[in-house]
């Protein structure tokens, strides 16, 4: 049963991304798929990682300015709708996804890329939907209106 004071997230979301990446690396060691010229993906990978950290930095800054928690198993004290939150409801998860893609490009890990739909399914079904349900209970109409105006990812 979910605790009303938080989203009921059982497993820290950054570890979900990390776990999927490790599974991709493990599968690649057993069934290698390499794209010829993998080094050509190094620069795009770096760009993705830098972009991902920039998105994360902006998201953390907004949460800090608004004095609310970034930890999904803690109670949210305020609904943040400014800054990057005007464009995406989940910039922290978006940043992790962008960093995930950048790292997959750099390491030429095709299996990590193949796993991305499954990663997104897990994040949407078991993390984000729980958080959205919690935020709807916590902030009521304000969150419902925000949810109608701002997309989940982009």
Predicted confidence (pLDDT) per residue in 6-33, tens digit: 787 888 999 999 999 999 999 999 999 8
DSSP 85: G
Convert the pLDDT of each residue in 48-105 to its tens digit.
Answer: 999 999 999 999 999 999 999 888 778 899 999 999 999 999 999 999 999 999 999 9
Tokens of 13: 């979301």
- Cα separation, 8 vs 2, whole angstroms: 5
Q: pLDDT of 110-132, one tens digit each?
A: 999 999 999 999 999 999 999 99
DSSP annotation of 6: S
CB 91 within 8 A of CB 153: no
- Comparing CA positions, the residue from 2, 18, 5, 4 lying closest to residue 123 is 18
**Domain ranges, ordered by start, for the chain:** 14-26+39-149
Of 153, 118, 115, the C-alpha closest to 132 is 153
Question: Is the model's pLDDT at 144 over the cut of 50?
Answer: yes
Gap between the Cα atoms of 29 and 108, Å rounded? 12
Supply the pLDDT for residue 38.
66
């Amino acid at each position: 049963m979910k605790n009303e004071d938080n989203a009921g997230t059982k497993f820290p979301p950054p570890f979900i991304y990390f776990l999927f990446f490790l599974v991709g690396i493990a599968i690649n060691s057993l069934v290698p798929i390499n794209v010829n010229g993998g080094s050509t993906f190094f620069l795009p990978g770096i760009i993705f990682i830098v972009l991902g950290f920039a998105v994360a930095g902006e998201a953390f800054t907004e949460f800090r300015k608004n004095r609310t928690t970034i930890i999904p198993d803690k109670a949210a004290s305020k609904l943040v709708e400014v800054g990057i939150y005007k464009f995406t409801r989940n910039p922290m998860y978006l940043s992790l996804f962008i960093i995930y893609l950048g790292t997959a490009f750099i390491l030429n890990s095709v299996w990590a890329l193949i796993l991305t739909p499954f990663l997104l399914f897990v994040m949407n079904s078991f993390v984000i939907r729980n958080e959205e349900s919690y935020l709807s209970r916590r902030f009521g109409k304000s969150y419902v209106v925000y949810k109608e105006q701002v997309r989940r990812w982009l």
